[in-house]
Amino acid sequence: MVLAGSTADHAAAEQQPSSPADLEGGDHPSSSSCPLSVTDRTHRHACVDAYKRIIGTSSDSELNPSPNSKLPGGNTRKAAEPHADTADSQRDREEKHLRASSSTALDLIRPLASRMPSVRRPDREVSFHHRALYTGLSVSIFMVCSHLPLYGVRYASMGADPLYWLRSILSSNRGTLMELGVGPVVTAGTLFQLASTSGLLRFDHNVREDRDLADGARKVLALVIALGEAAAHVLLGMYGPHVGALNGVLIVLQLISATAVVVYLDDVLEKGYGLKGSSSAISLFSAANTCGKVFWQAFSPVTVNTGRGPEFEGVVLAVAHRALTRTSSARAVVATLLRRHLPNATNLAATFLVLLAAVYLEGVQMLVPLTSRDRRGRRGTFPIKLLYTSTMPIVLYTAVVSALYLVSQLLHYSRLGGTLLVRLLGVWAEASHAAVPVGGLAYYVTPPASFAGDPVHALVYVALMLASCALLAQGWVVASESSARDVARRIADQRMGLPGRRDGATYAELRRYIPTAAALGGLCVGALTIFADMTGVIGTGTGIMLAATAVYNLVKSVEKEDEALYI
């Protein structure tokens, strides 16, 4: 707690940013007549009342005489300067306004949020085997929903997929119950994170009532977003122009129900019933969806009729079939390994190479040593990973690019399709699976087929990807409250610090490494994604990066728990 010498000094100190010493919990002497200098008006009145009882005054006029009242010596008291209380009163008004705005927003969602079902946290720690079982069941339910077709949809009437470029990060499959994937849950969580960081919504996570309210409000927002997206899918004709009113309502209800399933599967894993490396179902579902696609395109038994006869879609089965059935097996195997229109061995090898590189980068870190300020001999470390923001830069970049794709396509196929601004955003051409950008900004943020084919396109794409990932990584550090100042404050709250250094040295030391790690990690993630897109990995570079990170964290947590069983 910081003690102030006067009201004016205290107001000035409040307007200035906290110094590193303040973050480490330093104290300052006080010369105030009141025992403590407080900022909250209620506490100030309580302090004044206590002071009245101590000195025996019975009225406010005795404690706070008028500016022109007579002093005992006969002199007239001069009017007090109003400047001392100006900053303090202004700050109080701003705090009250923020609290009122936050309370208004919370009051609007409180009736629904308080009635949302919730998974109760376990009274004691769930055993490892039960948590593994719950995690496996959650993934199985999600994968089953990802392959169940929507009732009332005519797949022959569905055209090119406008959300094709967004499905890798949403873990969604077109025409299934998981059409929306984890999109509504991710969007709701991101909006709450931004609102909490900016001060629009204020929750005390140490208070159970506020924590439950925030949890319920997040669920309500996810379902509302799912309702809006499902209605937009039907009204914009993504399932054909002749869906019908009844089928349209049924489709919307199915998509909202699937989103509710995702919300509560995430709740189960987050409340302590899942493996510790899978505390978020979102990353786990993304990894399961990507790994499922890789496995399917490696071992798919579906046959495709090509110019050289029927071939297996799965590259492993195709190579084995060619080697066993053709007389010139060597030439047939080479042709299958390098085939163009189906997954080949180069794509499969590049996929595993990117997975290994991502796992290696995820394990690179430096440890900052810490010691306790109160308990001698208590030590710890704070790890600063090379991928400090993990895969968030590429996720945010892909979300922005996908939004650009969606807006550009809507404008391109509208009446404004021939205007200059729309053509600068993107020019599109129809393909078998989706519309493909052939010009404009949307074309240059799309990975090229090769460097040699269009070097200008390749250079612009690489520059935009690397610069965006570095900037987004640094921005996410601030938005997620994981900057050097935030980490130093949390370390100081635990009464920890650098060994043999003053209190303010923790912030200065972290400031040397965290911004650099965030920017360099963003560059590494961007570069690895570029390599994945250029070599044609199975799936997308973003999906492979998400899967690698999620699987790595899950494996490390299982190893730690396995070691704990034998200690």
- Domains of the chain (ranges plus CATH)? 1-65 (no CATH), 99-274 (1.10.3370.10), 364-565 (1.10.3370.10)
- Banded model confidence at residue 156, pLDDT cuts 50, 70, 90: low
Alpha-carbon gap, residue 496 to 491, rounded angstroms: 6
CA atoms of 142 and 288, how far apart (whole Å):
9
Nearest to 512 by CA among 366, 394, 403: 366
Find the length of the chain: 567
Calpha distance 247→259 (Å, rounded):
18
- Rounded CA-CA distance 336/323 in Å is 10
Q: How much is the pTM?
A: 0.70
State mean pLDDT over 406-422: 83
Which pair of structure tokens corresponds to residue 6? 């006067």
Which of 53-62, 303-312, 317-326 bottoms out in mean pLDDT, i.e. has the lowest? 53-62
Token digits for 17?
Answer: 């940013």
pLDDT at 121: 85
Q: Can you tell me the mean pLDDT for 367-376?
A: 84
For residue 337, what pLDDT is reported?
75
Taking 70 as the threshold, does the pLDDT of residue 566 lie above it?
no
Query: Using CA of residue 295, residue 296, residue 302, residue 308, what is the dihedral sign?
Result: negative
Q: Quick check: 419 pLDDT over 70?
A: yes
Cα distance between residue 477 and residue 67, in whole Å? 51
Q: Is the pLDDT of residue 62 over 50?
A: no
Q: Which of 24-38, 230-244, 400-414, 454-468 has the lowest mean pLDDT?
A: 24-38
Residue 399: its pLDDT value, please?
Answer: 80
Indicate whether 374 pLDDT > 70: yes
Q: What's the confidence (pLDDT) of residue 466? A: 94
CA torsion, ordered 387, 140, 269, 540, to nearest 10 deg = 20
Q: How far is C-alpha 455 from the chain's CA centre?
A: 33
pLDDT tier for residue 70 given thresholds of 50, 70 and 90: very low
Nearest Cα residue to 461 out of 516, 409, 387, 529: 529
- Decide: helix, strand or coil at residue 93: helix
| Distance separating alpha carbons of residues 545 and 354, to the nearest angstrom | 8
Query: Minimal CA–CA distance to 347: which of 281, 408, 395, 296?
Result: 296
